[in-house]
Chain A
Amino acid sequence: MSALPDFKDRAKAALADPVLKTAIDRTTGNAERKRAAALAAFPEFEAARARGKAIKDHVTAHLDHYLEQFERNATARGAQVHWAADDAEARAIVTRICLAAEAKLVTRAKSMLGEEIGLPHALADAGIERVETDLAEHIIQLAGEAPSHIIWPAMHRTREQVAELFKAGHQPPPAAEDPATMVQSARRVLREKFLSADIGISGANFLVADTGATCTVTNEGNAELTTTPPRIHIVTAGIEKLVPSTAHAFALLRLLVRSATGGEMTQYTTFHAGPRRPGDADGPEEMHIVLVDNGRATMLANEFREMLRCIRCGACMNHCVVYRQIGGHAYGGTYPGPMGSVLTPVLDGLAASRDLPNACTMNGRCAEVCPVGIPLPTLLRAWRRRSWREGLEPGSVRAGIGLWAQLARRPRLYRLATRIGLPLLRLFGRGGWISRLPLAGGWTDHRDLPRPAAQSFMDQYRAQQKGRK
């Protein structure tokens, strides 16, 4: 929920953890390969991406219209729609519903929006038992951790570590450490909870305006077991999840699943349209939908508008060289990776998170794989611009760039500076390399610096030209 300012310390700790690196390489490497294979078998990807982008842009441009339409249709189906301006309001609404229903036990299907608004802590504070039903969320609940990836929340944990967690957290512990036995053990533990929960809370991958339905997609079926047996189903969703119709949801789903897991379709794709109707065999008695703004309306009107297209597939982080070194927790916000580095300053403020948009090489691979064409490096640069303008960049950086710019803006002075500076710099070198340079430890701590030329290109060139004349 809240970003911590010590990004560099967290990154350093992550880099020093070889088990974490193994876990990251396994998951992101797999994700990258599977996505590539899925796209190779999907020649219409570019057309689908253009359509997905157009759908999201259309909804963003007419958000008020679709929000009203969604509320009207969801209400007509018997759901109660609530509006939350920020995370605190969203927490308050959910907690109020839970307390009014005298809920003791709540099951939850994985939802990053729920993490964003701090739902796990809010339920704990209200004295309500929360059970995470997604297998990976179950793992990190046992570990007392937050998600490190938006698709695989427990991707930072190796199979071996999960076995330890289950041994300690399951009663009785799993009989063996192979994946199948461990999954069976989790299923047994979770089954009891599914059937005894008072309330089930889910997110939504899509909010369908013309039917008033919310849509969840999973590969485990836990969302259906979370939302169907309990008396009450609560949906928490960001307002950017709206689509005009079911057909539009499927157009985006084709992109989402291939980009996230490399599958063609999720195992379970469920549309929840209102509570149980008379004659229905099952379903909740009440359905509540909490529509959360939490900074999104502001993004509509500023330079981060394109970020509202995000469908939370995780491809940007799977293909990010920084994420693949430090993992998700080092980022310190709800959302990691490139998309998180754009969103965290929105959610937690730029002052607390200015490192995130800066800790990027601007290599552009994230934008290349984004299924809805979000120009992530451009948006990260927009945060850098704000950070510079608001004076949040460290004094040393401002001074360095300032001094360099003063020289670069004066070509004659710049020539003079290279004429004096290059021979001085060469004094630090031996052979063709400089292996230690004061004030440049960021470079020479890790790699050698090629010794600069004794005379700059411009000076050499000018001397040659004079010689020719």
Chain B
Amino acid sequence: MSAQPRPRVGLFVTCLVDAIRPQIGFATLQLLEEAGCVVEVPQAQTCCGQPALNSGDDRDAAHLARQTIAAFEGYDHVVLPSGSCAATIVHGYPDLLAGDPDWAARARAMAAKTHEITSFLADVMGYAPAGRRLNASATYHDSCSGLRELGIAAQPRALLSHVEGLEMRGLPGNDVCCGFGGTFCVKYSDISNAIVTEKAEAIEETGAEILLAGDLGCLMNMAGKLHRRGAKTRCFHTVEVLAGQADGPAIGEEAS
């Protein structure tokens, strides 16, 4: 054992990963352990409350904020495989609970130790994956919340540069929204469809075999559109490639 105690990390897998693609949760867990963390998964987690927050339903959003804080505030760090859920905790919670004398300080403390996975690995733990190989070409979409609210751009690219054999191709409009926007994509589905169609065209034009991004919501939107269009692009969360899991089924592929 090293002299420094290993940091205790609370893993919040997010509701989408929990239900749609557990592999992302396990890849995150694996990377955190490789980086030297002691990882726990609190059973009281459900959703960060972002759908309520973005719908204007502050009462439910605040309730979920308090529930999430209570479940996670005992850890040294809280880590999520999603920029938008992490941004909800980092920026949304302190704002939501600012007027609540019992919770305002707890919300701020929670915000200060909450991280999106790639920024946590690169910036906090100084981690770099070793011995990973993937012979493929890939392109990367910057999910908006992570990019603009948390400044996540260099970290995933730096981590991916350690994967041998992986050829990264630039995506024109990489920082332009894919049209997901949470409930936006079903409330204004025609507009969302027009936006994601342009995104899918840009992805297909790169000729990359793999699309990577750091938020499952955006990935489901882009992967679902690419599949509907008959494109062969395979879609993974960044952590799946970093954890060496991209030899398994991509989003929308079933394990045989």
Query: Is this pair of chains taken from one and the same complex?
Result: yes
A42 at the interface (CB under 8 A from B): no
Q: Are A385 and B58 in contact (CB under 8 A)?
A: yes
Segment from B19-27, B99-107, B160-168 that makes contact with A: B19-27
Taking chain A's interface residues, is the majority helix, strand, or loop, or is none over half, making it mixed? helix
Across-interface contacts of A1 in B (CB, < 8 A): none
A360:B254 contact, CB within 8 angstroms: no
Bound CA span A385–B25, Å? 32
Contact (Cβ within 8 A) B49 A408: yes
Task: Please indicate the chain A residues that have their CB under 8 angstroms from the CB of B144 in the complex.
Answer: 361-365
B22 to chain A, nearest CB (A): 4
- Cα A453 to Cα B15 with chains together (Å): 12
- The answer on a CB contact under 8 Å between A325 and B181 is no
**A275 CA / B57 CA spacing, docked (Å):** 53
**Min CB–CB distance B75 → chain A (angstroms):** 16
Cα of A445 to Cα of B26 in the assembled complex, Å: 31
Q: Chain A, 282-323, contact with B by CB distance < 8 Å: what is the 0/1 string?
A: 000000000000000000000000000000000000000110
| A1-35 Cβ-contact flags toward B at 8 Å (1 or 0) | 00000001001100100000000000000000000
- Contact pick for A325, options B187, B195, B224, CB 8 Å: B195
- Contact between A404 and B51 (Cβ–Cβ < 8 Å)? yes
Contacts of B181 in A (CB 8 A): 360-363
A69 contacts the other chain (CB 8 A): no
> Given that A384-B56, A393-B56 are known contacts, is A450 also in contact with B177, CB under 8 Å in the complex?
no
Q: Looking across the interface, which residue of chain B has its beta carbon closest to that of A400?
A: B183
Which single residue of chain B is at the shortest CB-CB distance from A440?
B186
Contact A8 B188 (CB under 8 A): yes
For the complex formed, measure the closest distance between the CB of A286 and the CB atoms of chain B, giving whole angstroms.
48
* Contacts beyond the supplied A401-B57, A432-B249, A443-B224: 4 A-B pairs with Cβ under 8 Å: A8-B188, A401-B52, A418-B19, A446-B192
Contact A359 B25 (CB under 8 A): no
Interface centre among A367, A384, A401, A402 (most CB of B within 10 A): A401
Whether the pair A442, B22 counts as a contact (CB closer than 8 A) is no
Residues of B within 8 A of A321 (CB): 176-177, 179, 195
Say yes or no: is B182 at the interface (Cβ < 8 Å to chain A): yes
Closest to B186 in A: A442
Q: How many angstroms from the CA of A449 to the CA of B222 in the assembled complex?
A: 10
B47 interface residue (CB < 8 Å to A): yes
Residue B190 is within 8 A (CB to CB) of chain A in the complex: yes
Whether the pair B185, A443 counts as a contact (CB closer than 8 A) is yes
B103 to chain A, nearest CB (A): 16
CA distance A445 to B225 in the complex (A): 10
Name 22 A/B residue pairs within 8 A (Cβ), A-sorted. Answer: A11-B190, A321-B179, A321-B195, A359-B187, A361-B179, A362-B181, A364-B144, A365-B176, A381-B53, A384-B54, A388-B55, A408-B46, A422-B19, A432-B251, A433-B224, A441-B189, A442-B186, A442-B187, A446-B189, A447-B196, A450-B252, A451-B252
